[in-house]
Structure 1
Amino acid sequence: MTRSAQFTSVELCAGAGGQALGLEQAGFRHLAAIENDKWACASLRANRDYSGLAEELRWPVQERDLHDVDGSDFDGVDLVAGGVPCPPFSVAGRQLGAEDERDLFPKALEIVERARPRAVMLENVRGLSQPRFANYRAQVIQHLESMGYQSEWKLLNSSDYGVPQLRPRFVLVALGEQEMRHFEWPSQVPTDLTVGDALYSLMAANGWAGVDEWKKQANKIAPTLVGGSKKHGGPDLGPTRSKQAWAKLGVKASSIAEDAPSQDFPGDEMPRLTVQMGAVLQGFPENWKFLGGKTAAWRQVGNAFPPPVARAIGQQISKALMAVDSGQRTPIHSSVGQIA
């Protein structure tokens, strides 16, 4: 874990801290982690905002609605990052885009305009990359250009960055003209880590005799985890097609377990995932805490941005900022506004 940081950041819609953790690992020190969900805030405090934690590792948690945030409070911050809510663009929703009252991109851009960070990183679901939202994406880019930023969209699969799960995410990075000349998206590092590899020790924790056979069956990466919204979706692994994919890996997907399989777990039954197992498949460390009941905790896990992906992008943003600070010659970079 990074003990010192080169640059500062503010995290919007922080959730349980997946993106923030990855950016911390990339060397960013968080000036604030802003989130309105009480259980996600409790998780953030349990992991990164409690008495006794080294000051450089603390994330000051602000439990409040993003609409109440004034970006000028963070004037001079290096990076504004966040995972704005995805329902306006999710294939599981009505895909109303800008017409959806839950669309927080405009507010995020307002915060950027007032904070004037050197870099911006906002992530969302794959649905935002669809042709139907081309005008919306163009408007975001134009707004950023009016503020002096150059920006790029990129569709990334988490499995290309060391995460044992497909999990496509659509990411926007915006930088000043000089910084953007030095920015490159992180190179893919496909993982050969399977669900069985990632979860073996957790599945075996209570002495389950069938864990070795289960590991052989769970020999692929996971389908994309889902967490549901506050109004819809409970602690399970998603719709019918997802449940069928999990069954092929030897995982019962109808609900989330409290504990790992016991020593006498029936050999003809499939085990279920725990909240901790889901978090590991997202790239969280095993000791990351998720507070609240099972539904609230699973929502935090299922809606998280995998820390390894955030770390990979954060490292590239940091390199671009450092290149400008050190006066490096700027290379030609001409993919501004790209989608993928």
Structure 2
Amino acid sequence: MLANESLKSLEICAGAGGMALGLESVGFEPAALVEKDVRTCETLAVNRPHWNVIRTSLEEFEPGEHTQVYDVDLLSAGMPRIKSAATAKRPEDLEERELFRCALYLVGPVQPRAVLFDNVPEMVHGDAFAAEREEIRKELEHLGYRLHWRILNAKDFGVPQDREHGLMVAVKEEYADGYRWPDPSPEAPTVGDVLHASMRARRWAHADEWRAHARRVAPTLVGGSDRRGGADLGLSGSKTIWRALGINGGTVANADAQEDLKSRDKPSVLWDLSSKGWELEAEPHEMPALTVAQAALVQGFPGAWRFHGLKTHAYRQVGHAVPPPLAAAVGRQIARALQATGAADG
């Protein structure tokens, strides 16, 4: 493969496109993206109409019916977060483990040159996941891959968020010597700098002073389960950090001023911040809440990316996504390994 040739990928559990968007920025063109949720598929279609989005569950995906996915350069997956076998108790935990195995055993028929899986940091070296790592090692080494494991933090790669990801990169042996993990960026962007313009756009008179205060990274955004609750910015510890940043982490604000007209009885979630004050000791409900679009900026999405669906579901798409800059950093290194080997052979 020559360095100027395009790279093809197959993305499974594609979600709202965070990983695919990051990979696209470093030269990977998706042959297909597999995602079962209809509203999430609509998010992908709205933002990238030319992408080949296949709406189906991973268990029902048959590569033989989509032959363009054979022999791609990269198989990538932002996998649902799994629990260790010892702690998996709920039916959905078992479903997530089954998805994990479906992804692993898709490598054989597809035969990509490289594989990129994202999951919980504990997957990399936690004792509770030793059996899973051994299953992965046996399967992929049998297929001729060399495995690389690493925990990377999104804040080290241009994302204003303290967010660790457990990553596995597997590269075919003929390309494996060329793979290196990306080096961290020297300085992370901050919440204040990333959200300043959007706070001003929401008519907040105190956006400038808030920006100066909020020049820190955010805690990890989480999407939460589709089976439970509404949208908020995380557990109590995360909400405490958001409060210190001057943000109400207990809810998500409306998308725009038009939605405010329907929510006059809920002033804490209004898009329009013209009536909001600025006090560090204020109660959370007196502080601004982030919109879905602002949460997406904290996750590293570009401002133009749009999320389909009502507020809670749209926010979950954001919280479940792989930050695009992190995917780009790892994808760039995979691309370099594949292209350098091909160029040397040529």
TM value normalised by structure 2: 0.87
Q: SS of 2:105's equivalent?
A: helix
Q: Which moves more between the two structures, 20-29 or 191-200?
A: 191-200
Identify which of 320, 328, 337 aligns with 1:311.
Answer: 328
Deviation, structure 1 residue 77: 1.1
Q: SS of 2:32's equivalent?
A: strand
Alignment partners' CA distance in 1, 2:313 and 2:90: 25
Residue correspondence of structure 1 range 101-250 to structure 2 within 5 A: 101-103=95-97, 104-129=99-124, 130-250=126-246
Q: Which residue of structure 2 aligns with residue 22 of structure 1?
A: 22
Deviation, structure 1 residue 300: 0.2
Residue correspondence of structure 1 range 255-266 to structure 2 within 5 A: 255-258=251-254, 259=256, 260-266=271-277
Report if the CA contact (8 A) 1:149-1:177 is conserved: yes
Sequence identity (%): 41
Deviation, structure 1 residue 100: 2.1
Deviation, structure 1 residue 71: 3.2
The residue type paired with residue 60 of structure 1 is N
The residue type paired with residue 220 of structure 1 is R
Alignment partners' CA distance in 1, 2:94 and 2:187: 36
Report if the CA contact (8 A) 1:71-1:112 is conserved: no
Report if the CA contact (8 A) 1:14-1:82 is conserved: yes
- Counterpart check, 1:76 vs 2:68: no
Could you say what the CA RMSD is over the residues aligned between the two structures, in angstroms? 2.3
Report if the CA contact (8 A) 1:149-1:174 is conserved: yes
Alignment partners' CA distance in 2, 1:285 and 1:95: 37
Q: Which residue of structure 1 aligns with residue 53 of structure 2?
A: 61
Tell me: CA distance 1:176–1:111, structure 2 relative to 1, closer, same or farther (3 Å): same
Residue by residue over 1:56-109, the C-alpha shift from the partner in whole angstroms, topping out at 9 and shown as x without a partner, is xx211111000111234321211110111114359xx84889982321221112
Q: SS of 2:337's equivalent?
A: helix
Q: SS of 1:101's equivalent?
A: helix
- Counterpart check, 1:276 vs 2:293: yes
Unaligned runs of 5+ in 2: 257-270, 280-285
Unaligned runs of 5+ in 1: 50-57, 330-340
Residue by residue over 1:223-247, the C-alpha shift from the partner in whole angstroms, topping out at 9 and shown as x without a partner, is 0001101112421011111100110
Deviation, structure 1 residue 270: 1.1
Alignment coverage as a number of residue pairs: 317
Alignment partners' CA distance in 1, 2:323 and 2:316: 14
Residue by residue over 1:108-157, the C-alpha shift from the partner in whole angstroms, topping out at 9 and shown as x without a partner, is 12211001111111101223232211221121011100111111111000
Report if the CA contact (8 A) 1:98-1:136 is conserved: no
Report if the CA contact (8 A) 1:185-1:316 is conserved: yes
Q: Hey, which bits of structure 1, 4+ residues long, moved more than 4 A?
A: 93-99
Alignment partners' CA distance in 1, 2:187 and 2:11: 27
- Counterpart check, 1:321 vs 2:338: yes
Q: SS of 2:96's equivalent?
A: coil
